[in-house]
Structures are given as structure tokens and as C-alpha cells.
Amino acid sequence: MSLSVPSAPGVKSARTRGASAIDFKSATTGVAAKAMRNELNKMVAEVKDPVQRRVFDLEMQSFFSLFNRYLVEKAKHEVIDWDKIQPLAPELVPSYSSLPETNDTSILEKLVVLKLNGGLGTTMGLSGSPKSAIEVRDGMTFLDLSVRQIEHLNEVNKTNVPFILMNSFNTDDETQRIIQKYANHNIQILTFNQSRYPRVGKESLLPVPRSATSDKSQWYPPGHGDIFDAIGNSGLLDKLLEAGKKYMFVSNVDNLGADVDLKILKHLVDSQCEFLAELTDKTKADVKGGTLINYEGTVRLLEIAQVPSEHVEDFKSIRKFKYFNTNSIYIDLEALKRVMDTEGMELDIIINNKIADDGTPVIQLETAMGAAIKHFRNAHGINVPRSRFLPVKACSDLLLITSDLYSLEHGKLVMNPQRMFAQTPVVKLGDTFKKIRDFNKRFRTVPNILELDHLTVSGDVWFGRNITLRGTVIIVANEGSRIDLPDGSILENKLVSGNVSIIDH
């Protein structure tokens, strides 16, 4: 199927006298869209295998739809009207603690669990490997822990909840190799790939790759908002519905707190909610996180990238926006099928500016999964405890989840009951701890942090064995200095500076 440019109303001939700036922009938009369409059609036509051509064609159609919307919105210069933004009414964010207890496991027969597995562990020093392959606790990876959670759920409830991984072209090969080890486990694992979109030249507005087989670096996975197109295009959505599945729980593979919870599932059914988003209380560490808002009577996701610069501080306010989006959602699959077959998904576009390997400025058009909430009936949020949001984005997070703050129970991290505060400590490790390899070298063993409130470490710092950190601890090795903390050290409310003097803080 060839791609076509949706007709743009109000686009006048370039020869029309007195054409306004907006007419010029609209005409330019039409030209750019036509040029992009021609390039994409050329790439599709060159794919010889009919099955591969069909898959690639569907991806390019989805990409072209997104690109065309980007051009139209850019021409109109539409921005969000800050005065129309309101926090959600309390009834649209019920508290997890207000949900009734339940032992009803019948819903599990209709449930599937999906983990977003498209990211690499690059920021933590594992280039080329899926982030889910990072060892996080007791020799187990994110993937191991997720599999253990579902396996335990199936064993205890004598059910068969399928486990789905949405991979990207960056993670699929390695993930397929890894999941072979679960062949004899009590779990059904399904996989599909999110789309592969072409990077776009910022100046040319043309695709960077010239063919479907162009180098990997010229393509990108277009954010988790692509889940809806990808699961539909793969045929998996129809297969799940045919198998009698109705609900899908989706979360990031690195969120070790996002497990199946019967109370939330019962609320999903009882409230006839088609899309439910887990939110948690915002802290100073989360002020940049997206949140749900009321926008002209509709529940919408608001990301910091959409906020006009003069209102960024308002957006970060904990008073106005109390919660942030954890990216754990529940979707009614029948409703998803209805939306995709009728109106389709028009998710807010996130423009990600990048520099290609050859120095050329490029753009990546991405979308966020939570933005789909506006398309569903009875959609709302639920305020969950922080224990359901335990992401690992950096080695600072790794320190927390490998410490004595948590224990492992059937693949789930459980807070140590001896921890006196509900909040986890704030941990800020400097650049010398950025990569996992360095993290493992600099901590002979992970410190005891049960009574820690805040830890900041900067510079060339090395930790011995069995160190205990309590209260607020700040350790700064100035440039050219090295700090070695001896085995068995106990630091409580201390500032350790570059000359290794220890003073009360």
C-alpha cells in the first residue's frame, strides 16, 4: 500500500497573490510531506520478501502519519494552553489504601503482563546489551526477577498468565537468546518488536536511511507510545483477544516494584475503567516526571517537554501537581481494539533532537504510552505507594536495591520492616560510579544503609567491606585526592572531605 498525504484544507496555490505566512507554511508542509512520502515508498518498494515488505510498509505508514502530524502542528504552532490545565479531581485518583481487599483470582484468567524491553543498558556502561540483562540482585537480572514474579503468580493461583516482552530492534536478538533458559519454567513467554522508524534530517526533513537495510544507527525505536501500533501490526492483539484475554498490565522492565496486584485489578473491573495509570506521590527527586491533568474536561498526560518554558516551575510544584506517572498502566484490550479500528491513536508528539554519528542534526519523533489515556472511557489514575515504583535508571538506584533496605520474595523487592521511614534514602553517586563496572569495583560490599537519609558521593572514593551509613553522609574527594573508607567504618551524619578528615554534619 502506498502512503498518501492527507489533504490539507486551506492550502493555496503558491501563485496566489497575497498568500499569508500560514498559507506559505501549509504549502511548505505539503511539499515536505510529499517528499517524505516518495522516499518512504521507494524504500518499501525495494524490500523483496513479501512478508517483510508488509511489516515494513505498516511501520512506514505509522511513521508517516506521525511525521505528517508533526508538520501540521509545527505550521500551526499549536502549544498547550496553560490556563486550561487543572489538577485531577480526587475521585479520578483514588488511593490504593482505599481499595478493598480481595481474594478473587478469576480475573487472572483474562490477564496478560507486558514488560517494555526496548532499552539498552548504555547509560550504565553496558553498550549493546538489553538493560533487562543487567544483574541486579543475588545474581539475578531484571528479566530473571520478572519471570520469577509471573511464575510464582501462576503457581500460587493455578493459572497461566502469559508474559509478553516488547523488544526493539536493539534488544530483540539478545533477548531471544536469553529467554531460551526459561524453556522449562511454568511460564508462557511471547515477544514482539516495537516499530523501527527512520531518523529525520533536521534541515532536509527527509529520512536519513536510504533503504530498509541501512545501518542500525539511522533508525530508532519511537518511544513506548508505539506499543499500540506495534501490538496491532504484529497480530498479537487479535491473538490475545481470540484467547479470551481482556486486560493487559504494562510496566517498564526496570521497575522492580510493578507486580500483579489483585486489589488494583478488581478496581479496574469494578470501575469499568478502560485505561488505568499508576501514579505515586511526587518528591523533590521526581519534579520532572509526567503527570495526569484535567484539560478541558479530558484526562490527559502532561510531560515536561510540553510545558511552556515560563511555566516549568509551576509544573514542578508539588503543591499543584501532587503525583507523577510511574509508566505502569492497565488497558482493556477490547477497548484498545475498538480505538485502533475506529479513531486510531493520536498521541502527543515528543521531538527528540539528536546529533548523528557524522555530526548531522537529526530529529526523532516519539510518543509516550500514557498519552493514550485521552482515548479511553472511564480512564483515570490510582495513587499507589512508592513501593510499586522502584526503577533502576542509574547506579545510584542500584545501590538502593542491592542493599539491606530490601529482601527478595519470589522476584519482588520487599522493604526491610526494620526501616523506620517509608521513604527510601536519596542517593547521589558522582560520575566515578556511573558505570556498573566502576560501581562494582568501588564498593567492596554494598554498605548497610537501613538508617540512611541522604548520601552524596563525589570524586575518587573507595568503600571497604561492611561499612554502615546513617543519617546524612556526604563524601567529597577533591580533584587529585583519593578517599579510602576502611572496612567496618560507621559514618553517621558525617562530611568526609578531600583530606580525609571526618567532621560532624
What's the gap between Cα 333 and its chain centre? 20
**Residue position matching grid coordinates 496478560:** 112
pLDDT in the model for residue 454? 95
CB 279 within 8 A of CB 96: no
Q: Where are the alpha helices (DSSP H) in 77-189?
A: 142-157, 172-178
Enumerate the β-bridge partners of residue 332.
Answer: 247
**Residue position matching grid coordinates 472511557:** 377
Entry pTM? 0.89
Going by their DSSP bridges, the two strands 468-476 and 452-458 should be labelled as parallel
Query: DSSP assignment, residue 104?
Result: -
**Residue position matching grid coordinates 481474594:** 103
Q: Which of 181, 372, 152, 346 is nearest to 260 (CA)?
A: 152
**What's the sign of the alpha-carbon dihedral 298, 299, 305, 310?**
positive
Q: Report residues of the chain scoring pLDDT below 70.
A: 1-28, 499-505
Q: Which of 347, 428, 406, 444 is nearest to 138 (CA)?
A: 406
Q: Where are the alpha helices (DSSP H) in 408-498?
A: 436-442
393 assigned to active site? yes
Going by their DSSP bridges, the two strands 120-121 and 323-332 should be labelled as unpaired
Going by their DSSP bridges, the two strands 412-415 and 406-409 should be labelled as antiparallel
Q: How far apart are CA 82 and CA 302, in angstroms?
A: 11
Q: Where are the alpha helices (DSSP H) in 280-332?
A: 312-316
Single-letter amino acid code for the residue at 347: L
pLDDT in the model for residue 313? 87
Give the cell for residue 203. 534541515
Q: Rg for the chain (alpha carbons), in Å?
A: 25
Enumerate the β-bridge partners of residue 383.
Answer: 95, 279
The CA-atom distances, in angstroms, between 191 and each of 166, 321, 339 are: 6, 36, 23
pLDDT in the model for residue 27? 55
pLDDT in the model for residue 289? 84
Q: How far apart are CA 330 and CA 274, in angstroms?
A: 8
SS3 443: strand
Q: How far apart are CA 323 and CA 420, in angstroms?
A: 23
pLDDT in the model for residue 25? 55
Give the cell for residue 411. 522476584
- Of 12, 74, 337, 393, the catalytic one is 393
